[in-house]
């Protein structure tokens, strides 16, 4: 049975681009073949979840029916009334399948993972929850079942993002880019495909497949002698951090490039994150669609709620609490292990410290020049790298599962 994992090998790209060719020709001549696009998507999604992954395919179908009914029911309700508790209820129900899948490994519910889990569940949940929230706000006014399915199951981004927004997506899918614009998008797509190949199949391979296992092995050996600490950890940190970036940024570039071929301007996920001068800037450049999602749907709403209910006198305290809650939630989203939660806390506290430093800098006119800027970039890079070492879970293996 042919099983095609997204962007896994050259074969996938050849089959994908051949399948998308009629669509691209249509777009070039100012036509969007919606039915053809849907058929291609269904076939590729089927090939992603067939064979040994068939139970994930069934989980996806069940999940989609659940989300469809939920968003549809909430839209009908919202036209008539606007009770906060109904909104909270709908949001919680939208998150339940994902929450169960995230809790399952920690609670050892293997049947839950088999029954509900499928590749991409996290990213689909972001889309439906955002739709419920925007329906609450009144920015999404109607439920279109057809557009809902095309948005949720958009082929290039189904398994790992970037996380698009419904209104932005619909504007693209209901129109055809002008020919010059489309040619420009195709040019960018070619560029992104090649850059993605460099990132994922060359650089990520060097750091993740060639280097990482070796430095991890050395770290294990020397930690054994030195009571859990080892200078090799620094090597693990760099190798893992670069592998994480090049693997995921490469993947995101493929998704964006494929979206562009389909005439959809999928939002970018990374913008030179290692050149950030502080943590706040880092989160505006790293996994951008995720951090902007959390900013808009968690952080801003928390701040608004706390200010409305006057929880804290000071605005600074309010935003600090929101930073920590926001990042902790992001940590929990990654998974229920101590190191993911610690990673979230690390970045939450990091943003609080960062904000305090920016206020201090402004008040005391701290000197600012090329050197301080270079220092800030190097410092931020290393703070982030330390957080990635934590995120990798290697410390967990090293300290708590180190078999002699």
The C-alpha atoms of residue 8 and residue 205 are separated, in whole angstroms, by 12
Q: Find the catalytic residue in 334, 364, 368, 403.
A: 334
Verify whether residue 402 is a known catalytic residue. Answer: no
The C-alpha atoms of residue 152 and residue 159 are separated, in whole angstroms, by 11
Q: Which residue in this structure is represented by tokens 């090799």?
A: 232
Residues 245-261: b if buried by 16+ CB within 10 A, e if exposed: bbbbbbbbbbbbbbbbb
Among 158, 65, 58, 173, which Cα is nearest to 73's? 65
Q: Using CB atoms within 10 A of its CB, is residue 348 exposed (0-12), middle (13-18) or buried (19+)?
A: buried
Among 150, 103, 152, which Cα is nearest to 129's? 152
Both tokens assigned to 156: 């290039």
The C-alpha atoms of residue 101 and residue 110 are separated, in whole angstroms, by 10
The C-alpha atoms of residue 239 and residue 109 are separated, in whole angstroms, by 33
* 239 touches 211 (CB < 8 A): yes
- Distances in whole angstroms, Cα of residue 82 to Cα of each of 127, 129, 262, 381: 21, 17, 37, 45
Residue positions annotated with a catalytic role: 334
């Amino acid at each position: 049975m042919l099983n095609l994992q997204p962007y896994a090998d050259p074969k996938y790209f050849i089959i994908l681009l051949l399948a998308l060719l009629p669509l691209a020709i249509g777009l070039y001549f100012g036509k969007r073949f919606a039915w053809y696009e849907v058929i291609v998507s269904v076939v590729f999604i089927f090939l992603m979840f067939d064979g040994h992954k068939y139970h994930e395919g069934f989980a996806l179908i069940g999940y989609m029916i659940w989300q469809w009914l939920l968003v549809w029911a909430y839209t009908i309700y919202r036209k008539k009334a606007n009770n906060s508790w109904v909104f909270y209820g709908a949001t919680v129900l939208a998150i339940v399948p994902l929450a169960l899948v995230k809790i399952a490994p920690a609670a050892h519910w293997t049947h839950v993972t088999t029954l509900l889990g499928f590749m991409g569940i996290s990213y689909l949940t972001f889309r439906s929850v955002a739709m419920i929230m925007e329906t609450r706000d009144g920015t999404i006014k109607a439920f279109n079942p057809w557009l809902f399915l095309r948005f949720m199951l958009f082929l290039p981004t189904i398994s790992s993002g970037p996380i698009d927004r419904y209104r932005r997506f619909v504007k693209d899918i209901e129109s055809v880019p002008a020919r010059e614009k489309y040619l420009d998008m195709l040019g960018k797509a070619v560029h992104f495909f090649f850059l993605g190949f460099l990132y994922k199949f060359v650089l990520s391979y060097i750091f993740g497949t060639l280097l990482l296992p070796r430095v991890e092995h050395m770290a294990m050996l020397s930690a054994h002698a030195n009571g859990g600490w080892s200078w090799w950890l620094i090597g693990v940190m760099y190798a893992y951090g670069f592998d994480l970036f090049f693997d995921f940024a490469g993947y995101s570039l493929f998704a964006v490039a494929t979206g562009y071929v389909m005439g959809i301007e999928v939002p970018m996920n990374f913008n030179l994150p290692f050149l950030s001068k502080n943590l706040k800037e880092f989160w505006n450049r790293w996994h951008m669609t995720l951090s902007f999602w959390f900013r808009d749907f968690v952080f801003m709403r928390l701040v608004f709620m706390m200010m409305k209910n006057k929880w804290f006198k000071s605005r600074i305290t309010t935003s600090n609490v929101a930073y920590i809650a926001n990042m902790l939630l992001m940590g929990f989203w990654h998974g229920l292990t101590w190191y993911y939660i610690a990673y979230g806390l690390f970045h939450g506290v990091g943003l609080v410290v960062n904000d305090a430093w920016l206020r201090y800098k402004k008040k005391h006119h701290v000197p600012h020049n090329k050197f301080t800027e270079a220092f800030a970039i190097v410092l931020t890079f290393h703070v982030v790298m330390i957080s990635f070492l934590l995120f990798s879970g290697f410390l967990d293996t090293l300290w708590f599962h180190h078999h002699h």
